[in-house]
Structure 1
């Protein structure tokens, strides 16, 4: 009868611990513990030394990640159009055909010197003036003349009067110098030679002619695009696309077990502060106040589940994992 009471008490403790589980693993452990017979839980009670405390804790199911390649897009076929290939080349294009034209070849001249008579030969007449000689000659300056000269009173006449006698007054002569022609004027002919001047003139060497000239064709270089390879169609395999998916595989079922815990009289504020500091270092939002309140318990259980520790109070296993001296 005493053994039956202990079994019922232990089963009640296990159910209470399972009720506090917060995730699916704890729920699975609760289901496993609830379905187990009361005697099987009671038989797992370890032998407790004096001064030690034991408590039932929930060990969540253990999962390990497995990476798998999952097809996210099936393989398929497609077609690829390979465009035609062209190349640019240069070609000479006639823009003006060859032709012929007539060209005038001008006349050819040469420069020659020629004596041109500018004044013909002639005979000039030089007048030789007459030659004179000076001679002295007496000339009548005043010719002789007859004049009446008074002879006194006339005695032959009865009447009184003066007697006149005609006398010849001789001519008055004057010596003059005069030019007399010694040699008559004459003409002296002089032969004047012809005058010539050297002039340069153009002498025709060849007449103006025409000749036929070939006019070459005119070309222009143009760029021409030529087909090198026809366009073609190719079948293309599109490979399947894969992605790595992490799946969690259960390697151990959830279970309820006895775990060594700190007794109420040994749990002091210093130990609780050490636990809170370790939780805060892990990133949990807790206050380091030495009080084992609901916030600290919630963070502690989350820590235990994360590290696959037994969930349910301040166990020695948890303190060891946190590196806290016991």
Structure 2
């Protein structure tokens, strides 16, 4: 044990006048702090004291918080029905009419498409070609009566072909016939109402409605903590002091989600009306009818070629010698036979007819349901749910007190090294163990005090004892 007590120059500045000046500069956040430093302690000669901050004390308590109130689960057992079958007429009987179409046979008819005519050609042989209009005009100019020329008669000169025009002629290709049209029987679609489920009473469960809310629970109240700050140095007996700032640490809260009842569950007794099913049925409105329609004959237009004017010639007869020089051109009147084509036409072989058939009505079985057992409800109670929350409550407030400290005048290199080594062993000091107590050593002291719940503000005797130095 040391026989003398020491005080550092850094903490000797925290005397009463400086404390009063600092306290006056803080806000209402200091109201929770207890200041027990109004008077200096009753010290013995050679003892030194420093004004230190004793931290507030807290204890942790657990509390049960309701997160979901007691509720009720309701199950509805539905009604039971018996099934039965019922026969109804789904479609009435009617008369079905079938049409047998008429049958036709093919016949061919030869139709003249071009009448027989005559034509002036350059030769009566196979190599003869039609004479040109210039040749025929030359023949007429030379007093040749072309209109009275005989078939097979030839003239020498130019040939002018005859003119033709085309006309149309209607030729019967399908005789007039008769078509039988049958109007099917007409039905009216109606619905027949059949009760398939009797009226009953139904219990409808409307579940309770819950909503989730968030509740903010204080688990640690707000507190004020003294920390060293920067500012002017107060001079007391040629010793320098340090400025202490009171920092407000806000309260700690925990957000808890709670399920609260919004609307309780209810059971409503609902009248369930009987269920009727509409069954489609076909009602005969009118029976089938027969209508005979005449189909007119069909004709086909064909093109006929008719001669408009004969060819004209200005040549002399081939057997008549005439004046002049033979040009080498010759025209002969040649007969062109008529042209025919075969046309196919359809002739009625068997006329159309009808057949009638009676269709029987159609019956249908449907299922119906009758109430056997009414619906019932089953209720089950669901217990409330709770959550355990930890709350930190303050036992004693933070306070300022005078505590004995180690005086700097008696702090030699040996004791300083022992303090530094003890701090290093505690894991709060990383500097050199050189016996020089500076800012690094004092910062480690304050860290050690906070870690062990000791008063901060100076190198107190309690701290030295905790370090095992004393």
**TM superposition score normalised by structure 2:** 0.28
- Larger-Rg structure: 1
Structure number with greater CO (CA < 8 Å, separation at least 6) is 2
Structure with greater proportional helix content: 1
TM-score (norm 1): 0.38
